[in-house]
Amino acid sequence: MELNKYIDHTLLNSDATERQIIQLCEEAKKHDFYSVCINSSYVPIARQALLHSDIKICTVVGFPLGAMSTDAKIFEAKKAIEQGADEIDMVMNIGLIKSRNYLGLLKDISNVKLAIGKVPLKIILEISELSKNEIVKACEICLDAKVDFVKTSTGFSKSGATLTAVKIIKKTVRNFIKIKASGGISDAETASKYIDAGVERIGTSAGVAIALAS
């Protein structure tokens, strides 16, 4: 299985340097990954580094906690798109689902989706913080908001993706929303298992190792 086109080659560390972002982009070109996934302040650098390539630029919004106001998320997303981002990975407001404020959560996600139009929106659930029922409810809200992807994790919480959670997500969203697994996926064998479970994108900082092994 050729895994490279499933990979969002990721560098989201707070101490990532401009040189490292450029290196990430060079690796993405060399291995023909689907995208690079970076913090929004680095979108202009990535855009310059990826000129004349078909590698997409994916950026995170409301990262890593998701507790920002909807207006802040909209501003960050629209600014990133203006500067060259092709996809937005937005962290869900976990506090809203814990509060059972489902309408508030739907509005938060829907308003961002409406603001960015046809640009793909991935909603990061942070599954390590959610019960099975909360994962299901979050996915139902994402269906109502007509987002493009549900993403498992930021990679900055207690744990990352699990096959169990992916199966719950897949059963809920079926083929209406795509799934991105991220957090702790560091080898080709593990990546392949997620793809076999129905995942259409892999977020990982180990993209080069995975590509070389596949």
Enumerate the active-site residues: 89, 151, 180
Within 10 Å of residue 107's Cβ, how many Cβ atoms?
15
Which sign does the torsion angle of CA 108, 201, 8, 192 carry?
positive
For the chain, what is the radius of gyration of the CA atoms? 16
Residues belonging to the chain: 214
